Amino acid sequence: MLRNEGRLRGWRAGPLSRLGGSVVLRFKVLPGWFLLRFRIRTSEMDWGRYKSDLITNTDYRKFDGTMRLVLAGSSEQRRRLEAQPAQMQETGALSYGVHVASSAIMTCLIEKRQGAHFHFVDAADGGYAAAARKLKAGPPWEEPKVR
């Protein structure tokens, strides 16, 4: 995860500069790791609760006349999950689109770390928008290659 961050931050730099940036980035992450790992409580924050708050405050599904959600699972779980919607689509009872990605993106809005933070999750490589394109194109879809 930090490797990607380092690549993004140092995309113009040479290899030695990227390595230095990567080391600096790892040192910046250490305090957060320590606070979360040992569930430290400070005057502003109970870091032991942060992970459960993050899960509670994360938007991974949307309902606006259609159902949109981000799920994590194995290829076999996805195959089983898609079996019924695929049957329903064949009969015309349902239209759906699926986008498979090897990672997700989380965008965070943080007013206060203790409780007043909200997180939006989408699949990488297009997410909801890619699934919508597949929905509009209709079946059959080519099985995507997951990296």
Asked if residue 79 is part of any domain, the answer here is: yes
| Paired strand residues for 74 | none
Q: Measured between alpha carbons, how far is 113 from 44 in angstroms, rounded to an integer?
A: 8
pLDDT of residue 60: 79
111 and 90 within one domain: yes
Q: Name the 3-class secondary structure at 128.
A: helix
Tens digits of residue pLDDT in 90-103:
898 988 888 999 88
Asked if residue 105 is part of any domain, the answer here is: yes
In which domain, by residue range, is 80 found?
47-137
The pair of three-digit structure tokens given for residue 23, joined into one six-digit string: 């080391």
111 and 75 within one domain: yes
Nearest Cα to Cα of residue 144 among 82, 69, 60, 66:
82
CB 93 within 8 A of CB 75: no
For the beta carbon of residue 130, count every other beta carbon within 10 angstroms: 19
pLDDT of residue 143: 53
The model's pTM: 0.62
CB 69 within 8 A of CB 61: yes
70 and 21 within one domain: no
53 and 27 within one domain: no
